Amino acid sequence: MTDAPRAPRPLPVIQGDVTRRALMKGAGAMLGAAAFARALQPLTEWAQDLSVDQFLQRHYREMSPDEMQAVLRRLEAQAKEDYGADVRIDDVRPQPGVQFAYALNLSVCVGCRRCAEACHEENNHDRPSGNSYIRVLEMTKGSMDMEQGRADYDGPVPRPDKFYMPVQCQQCDDAPCVKVCPVEATWKEQDGIVVVDYDWCIGCRYCEAACPYHARRFNWTKPQVPADEVNPDQAYLSNRIRPQGVVEKCTFCLHRTRRGRLPACLEACPTGARVFGNVLDPDSDIRWVLENKRVYVLKEELGTRPRFFYFFDK
Amino acid sequence: MTTRAESHLVSYPRFLARVLWLGTEGTPWFYAWMTLLTAAALVGLHAWATQVRDGMAVTGMTDHVSWGLYIANFTFAVGLAAGAVMMVIPAYLYRDEEMHDVVIVGELLAVAAITMCLLFVVADLGRPDRFWHMIPGLGRFHWPVSMLTWDVIVLNGYLLLNLHICGYLLYQRYLGRTPDPRWYVPFVFVSIFWAISIHTVTAFLYCGLGGRPFWNTALLAPRFLASAFVSGPAFLIVALRLIERFGGVHVGEGPRRTLLKILRVAVLVNLLMVGSEAFTAFYTGGAHAATARYLFFGLHGHDALVPWTWTAIACGVGSAVALHLPAVASRPRLLDLTCLAAFVGIWIEKGMGLIIPGFVPSTLHEVVEYAPTLIEWQVTAGVWAFGLLVFTAAVKVALPVLEPHAPGAAEGGHA
């Protein structure tokens, strides 16, 4: 046998003045406990803003319609309390027979970043960080390599030897971010949009590491938006003001597009570079682009099957 | 339940109380060491609580480099836990009796290291209050698709296995009985395979991501194991010496010699793997070499990682050479220094040197650098301090009881 039987050995005998040492140890433990509580003070302060309802809230897909209504009203009240804004938060569901896709004409994009700005306002992004779901790359003509591009370009656009490539969530059909999430806080909806339940996300940021398109953002702090700048037209899964410590992403403005409107970035585009719609509708612009233009997707070799297409006109 | 004089319901709590008492008994040096660790752990706890309240903006992480010092240390600590198996294999598979006497040190290291892993993961969460979302049944555990859920399973499983093995042996000794091999030897063998699995699964966390070419290599899991078998034995060689020095317990030269043999091979295998990764990146060139260039030489004037990288290489190569010099092996102090260098080298290589370059350049090829903030260093030091605290207290309780050759062991190590 691996363990040869040995004479059993008792635990060491305690020597010396046991009572005195027990007292010393008790005092040490009390001191330690007090220091422990003191060290955790910031956590106690933070937990005061956390209600039991909030803590126990269930996953988006497990909530009954009544539960959802209660949550929406609570979130509205919270927005009023935290931001001083009267907002309306709805649970906007996908429409049957709709599959969304997006296309972007790189020949006409001038790199003005109005789309990124519109996204910032529409989606109630944190003001100080200037966050947006869209990043525009200035690319060098003659190269499709993103290494030759830069996002921090400045000055008048468009520059003659450059072209501009806005990148946002590609709403992949085989999304790496959805695969890696340990708690199913992110998933793909029927109409092709990848969403996040901001109240279920644990903030591990594995999705951010997995996304090949830099599409995801983390709320490193509680977002700051002045009351008069808050977009009051909100949805649970899209542009409501996100809690601190969770991941967020582009939702193709589902609070608009699921109600027949266009994404904010498209409406803001001055050159008409952006085409959005339902690919199942044979008369839609997006369908025309996909049928008549030679479109391509970013990083096709990764097998993520994006729903965001790029094309050149000339 | 039991017909013996005392039910386990009575004797087990008594056993735990005795363990607690023994774990807090020692010399003034021991108290000084434990007080220092407790203080560091409390500073870390306070830093973490501040981070939860104010948001992770207090860290150096960004949307470009979204994992940092915490995940780097998590990865390293998984390796440390897995490396401890290098005492278990000789002791149980090769029936090395001397190793068998001290094998519990390795198992306790696994317990302490896994505790650190779990703490580092919690420290990295934006919403630790939602931790329950991951509990199967209560929350939504995305198993088997998410590799992170696999990691949760294997890490907790490894912790339970080692807790059971150590706890069972100690409890039997407390009862004055000879441990029944049927109750722990099968678990020991499971734990050997399990040790490999924890580090393989942890590598799969990273190498399964197609969007991160630096991690997306089949060599990652073998490399993790090789470096684990450097860091684990290196730590244990020094730990055994310190236990002998301060614990008043005799540890034969045998276990250290065996660990040194393992270390000599592992350190070379690890260097070989690092070398072949570097060759593949640099010889191929192109965009995929950008990360390697950033790591070794800096990219477009961004070179925050370069000093780390070369320190790691110096430690790795230096310790590989030194470990093979007879003059070093025969001088304990020199050997300990060499082990320390090997340990630090792997800590950098598998920590900051692995996690950060995965994000630089970013998926859109932007170069944004990362440097840990004071809060991150405090939390990290706090978790390490807590890990060492657990390890010290556990060894303190376990070793004098299990070590049979020491004449003075029964005194509880008041050396």
Structure tokens at A282: 């044979």
Residue B283 φ then ψ, to 5°: -70, -40
Q: What is the pLDDT of residues B304-349, one digit of tens each?
A: 999 999 999 999 999 999 999 999 999 999 999 999 999 999 999 9
SS3 A283: coil
Q: Is residue B194 part of a domain?
A: yes
**pLDDT surpassing 50 at residue A298:** yes
Rounded CA-CA distance A269/A172 in Å is 23
Contact A116, A164 (CB under 8 A): no
Q: What is the pLDDT of residue A4?
A: 46
Element spanning B224, H or E: helix B220-247
Is residue A210 less than 8 Å (CB to CB) from chain B?
yes
Helix axes B97-124, B185-207, angle to 10 degrees: 40
Q: What is the pLDDT of residue B286?
A: 76
For B197, the domain range is 27-411
SS3 B383: helix
Is residue B179 less than 8 Å (CB to CB) from chain A?
yes
Contact B25, B412 (CB under 8 A): yes
Q: How far is A282 from chain B (nearest CA, A)?
A: 34
Name the band, by pLDDT with cuts 50, 70 and 90, for residue B5: low
Q: What is the pLDDT of residue B288?
A: 75
Contact B369, B61 (CB under 8 A): no
Angstrom CA distances, A5 to B92, B173, B382, stand at 15, 12, 41
The burial of A152, by beta-carbon neighbours within 10 Å (0-12 exposed, 13-18 middle, 19 or more buried), is given as exposed
**pLDDT surpassing 60 at residue A2:** no
Q: What is the pLDDT of residues A25-65, one digit of tens each?
A: 999 999 999 999 999 999 999 999 899 999 999 999 999 99
- What is the predicted ipTM? 0.93
Higher-pLDDT residue of B79 and B176 is B79
Q: What is the pLDDT of residue A20?
A: 86
Rounded CA-CA distance B20/B24 in Å is 6
Question: How confident is the model over B239-249, as a mean pLDDT?
Answer: 89
The sign of the dihedral angle between the CA atoms of B96, B98, B103, B105 is: negative
Subunit contact B211:A299, Cβ cutoff 8 A: yes
Element spanning A165, H or E: strand A162-167
Name the band, by pLDDT with cuts 50, 70 and 90, for residue A11: low
Average confidence score pLDDT of chain A: 94
Cis preceding-peptide flag for B144 (omega within 30 of 0):
yes
Average confidence score pLDDT of chain B: 92
**pLDDT surpassing 50 at residue B118:** yes
Name the band, by pLDDT with cuts 50, 70 and 90, for residue B155: very high
Find the CATH number of the domain harbouring B63: 1.20.1630.10
**pLDDT surpassing 60 at residue A3:** no
Per the listing, tokens 């555990």 go with B141
Supply the DSSP string of A71-136, one letter for each residue.
Answer: HHHHHHHHHHHHH----EEE--PPPTT--EEEEEETTT-----HHHHHHHHHTT--TTTT--S-EE
Q: Which residues contact A278 (CB under 8 A, 6 or more apart)?
A: A97, A98, A99, A100, A284, A286
Q: Is residue B5 part of a domain?
A: no
Rg of chain A's alpha carbons, rounded to an integer? 26
Question: How confident is the model over B97-118, as a mean pLDDT?
Answer: 95
Is residue A93 less than 8 Å (CB to CB) from chain B?
no
Cβ under 8 Å to A: B residues 215-234: none
Structure tokens at B309: 């990288």
Q: Which of A64-68, B237-241, B286-290, B360-364 has the lowest mean pLDDT?
A: B286-290
Task: Look up residue B116 and give its amino acid.
Answer: M
Name the band, by pLDDT with cuts 50, 70 and 90, for residue B415: very low
Closest CA relative to residue A137, chosen from A158, A155, A153: A153
Q: Is residue B100 part of a domain?
A: yes
Rounded CA-CA distance B378/B41 in Å is 9
Helix axes B253-284, B220-247, angle to 10 degrees: 150
Closest chain B residue to A245 measured between Cα atoms? Answer: B126
Q: Is residue B2 part of a domain?
A: no
Q: What is the pLDDT of residue B2?
A: 46
Name the band, by pLDDT with cuts 50, 70 and 90, for residue B4: low
Q: What is the pLDDT of residues A165-184, one digit of tens each?
A: 999 999 999 999 999 999 99
Supply the DSSP string of B228-249, one letter for each residue.
Answer: HHHHHHHHHHHHHHHHHHHH--
Give me the number of domains chain B comprises. 1
B251: left (phi over 0), alpha (psi -120 to 50) or beta: beta
Residue B32 φ then ψ, to 5°: -60, -45
Q: Is residue B14 part of a domain?
A: no
Q: What is the pLDDT of residue B143?
A: 95
Q: What is the pLDDT of residue A192?
A: 98
**pLDDT surpassing 50 at residue B413:** no
Chain centroid to Cα A141, Å, comes to 31
Percentage of residues in chain B having pLDDT higher than 70: 95
Task: Look up residue B238 and give its amino acid.
Answer: V
Rounded CA-CA distance A296/A292 in Å is 12
Contacts of A13 in chain B (CB under 8 A): 410-412
Per the listing, tokens 């008790």 go with A26
**pLDDT surpassing 70 at residue A16:** no
Chain centroid to Cα B181, Å, comes to 27
**pLDDT surpassing 50 at residue B409:** no
Q: What is the pLDDT of residue A14?
A: 57
Element spanning A187, H or E: strand A186-188
Rounded CA-CA distance B14/B305 in Å is 51
B185, B211, B366: residue with CB nearest A176? B211
Contact A212, A304 (CB under 8 A): yes
Q: What is the pLDDT of residue B362?
A: 95
Q: What is the pLDDT of residue B139?
A: 94
B142, B174, B179: residue with CB nearest A181? B142
Q: Which residues contact B252 (CB under 8 A, 6 or more apart)?
A: B98, B101, B405
Rounded CA-CA distance A94/A88 in Å is 18
Q: How far is A281 from chain B (nearest CA, A)?
A: 32
Percentage of residues in chain A having pLDDT higher than 70: 95
Q: What is the pLDDT of residue B248?
A: 79
Q: Is residue B8 part of a domain?
A: no
Subunit contact A218:B126, Cβ cutoff 8 A: yes
Contact B236, B87 (CB under 8 A): yes
Closest chain A residue to B133 measured between Cα atoms? Answer: A183
Q: Which domains does chain A have, with CATH numbers?
A: 100-311 (3.30.70.20)
Q: What is the pLDDT of residue A15?
A: 58
**pLDDT surpassing 90 at residue B401:** no
Q: Is residue B359 part of a domain?
A: yes
Q: Is residue B11 part of a domain?
A: no
Rounded CA-CA distance A209/A247 in Å is 12
Length of chain B: 415
Angstrom CA distances, A89 to A86, A235, B409, stand at 10, 5, 69
Per the listing, tokens 């901001």 go with A198
Strand partners, A308: A102
Residue A72 φ then ψ, to 5°: -60, -45
Subunit contact A147:B365, Cβ cutoff 8 A: yes
CB atoms within 10 A of CB A283: 8
Subunit contact B46:A42, Cβ cutoff 8 A: yes
